[in-house]
């Protein structure tokens, strides 16, 4: 826990950008009837019936110190998908940096082993040499700032029927672009000192 909080207190360094990473499963839902349009004195009306169209996965990258985020839409969240997202982070998002500091949770796919499963050893090692992983503790994924950003995404963009992956990609791109233009970020105030007081029960008892 203190390791992640310590990362958050590092100053911005373009050679070592800090990126919070997480994923979200999205239920794809289609309307069975067209909504009734808005009329004077009457809002748009929807039928209560809907049709499930499967699921899609969102990989969300968030750089709090720059107010920047990126969302990748995939079919699944397998080891191979995670590995490909890390390669994209290294080669496409930050190709010129020395090392990328990544905050992420302890999901079983979020490991260096996933890259070795997906890529030849040399390629896996090349990518991992540019990554510095910092894991949130078990049951402490709320310490990952990207979870706050995903909450905003859910309220502002995903609170409607989205029937397919193509529309999901279009909607999330528009939301991402608007948030990035405003450089919206998280006002994080929870510190190591706070943790030692408020979460004292989680520390080893040395008495």
What is the per-residue pLDDT for 7? 94
Taking residue 38's Cβ as centre, other Cβ atoms within 10 Å add up to 10
Q: What percent of the chain has pLDDT over 70?
A: 90
| pLDDT tens sequence across 84-109 | 999 999 999 999 999 999 999 999 99
Domain boundaries in the chain?
11-32+51-187
Residue 53 has pLDDT above 80, yes or no: no
What is the per-residue pLDDT for 139? 81
Q: What are phi and psi of 72, to 5 degrees?
A: -105, 135
In the numeric block, the tokens 């996965």 are attached to 57
Greater confidence (88 vs 191) lies with 88
Q: What percent of the chain has pLDDT over 90?
A: 72
Greater confidence (54 vs 146) lies with 146
DSSP string covering the chain, please? -HHHHHHHTSPP-TTS-EEEEEEEEEEEEEESSPPBPPBTTB--B--S-EEEEEEEEEEEEEETTTTEEEEEEES---HHHHHHHHHHIIIII-TT-S-EEEEE---TTSSHHHHHHHS-HHHHHHHHTTEEEEEPPTT-GGGSTHHHHHHHHHHHTSSS---SHHHHHHHHHHHHHHHHHHT--------HHHHHHHTGGGS----
Q: What's the pTM?
A: 0.86
| pLDDT tens sequence across 143-173 | 999 999 999 999 999 988 899 999 999 999 9
- Please name the fold of domain 11-32+51-187: Nucleotidyltransferase; domain 5 (3.30.420)
Q: With bands split at pLDDT 50, 70 and 90, how would you rate the model's confidence at 31?
A: low
């Amino acid at each position: 826990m203190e390791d992640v909080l310590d990362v958050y207190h590092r100053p911005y360094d373009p050679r070592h950008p800090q990126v919070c990473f997480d994923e979200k499963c999205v239920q794809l839902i289609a309307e069975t009837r067209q909504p009734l349009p808005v009329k004077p004195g009457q809002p748009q009306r929807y039928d209560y019936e809907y049709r499930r169209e499967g699921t899609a996965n969102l990989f969300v990258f968030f750089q709090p110190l720059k107010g920047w985020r990126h969302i990748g839409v995939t079919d699944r969240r397998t080891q191979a998908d995670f590995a490909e997202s890390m390669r994209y982070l290294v080669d496409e998002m930050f190709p010129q940096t020395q090392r990328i500091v990544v905050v992420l949770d302890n999901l079983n796919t979020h490991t260096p082993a996933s890259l070795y499963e997906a890529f030849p050893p040399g390629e896996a090692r090349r990518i991992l040499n540019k990554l510095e992983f910092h894991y949130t503790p078990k049951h402490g994924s709320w310490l990952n700032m990207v979870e706050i950003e995903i909450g905003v995404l859910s309220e502002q963009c995903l609170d409607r029927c989205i029937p397919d992956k193509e529309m999901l990609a279009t909607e999330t791109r528009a939301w991402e672009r608007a948030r990035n233009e405003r450089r919206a970020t998280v006002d994080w105030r929870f510190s190591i000192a706070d943790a030692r007081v408020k979460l004292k029960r989680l520390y080893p008892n040395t008495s």
